[in-house]
Amino acid sequence: MIQLGRVYKDKVTGFEGVATGYVQYLTGCNQALLAPKVGSDGASREAHWLDEQRLDAVGDTVITLNNAASPGFDKPAPKR
């Protein structure tokens, strides 16, 4: 089971990032959204969804956030 806030590495590509999202499908192809660190130039890099069976945990550190003061990222949810 994927633990949000933990760093994972893809066994196939070597892509590494913090698990910031997780989705479970009826078909069992569960995936984690890995958000990598910024590049050496300080630019953000794109996060990717990867099948959980491809992922290995890296280290023991788990990032936690206190969302009590803020509902989330820098934008409110879209209104439709």
Cβ–Cβ under 8 Å, residues 15 and 8? no
Does the pLDDT at position 32 exceed 80? Answer: yes
Q: SS3 breakdown of the chain: % helix, strand, coil, rounded to 5?
A: 5, 40, 60
Does the pLDDT at position 74 exceed 70? Answer: no
Q: What is the pLDDT of residue 35?
A: 96
How far is residue 51's CA from residue 80's CA, in Å, rounded to a whole number? 30
pLDDT in tens, 11-24: 999 999 999 999 99
Q: What is the pLDDT of residue 28?
A: 86
How far is residue 9's CA from residue 54's CA, in Å, rounded to a whole number? 8
Does the pLDDT at position 45 exceed 90? Answer: yes
pTM, rounded to two decimals = 0.80
The sign one gets for the Cα dihedral 34, 3, 62, 77 is: positive
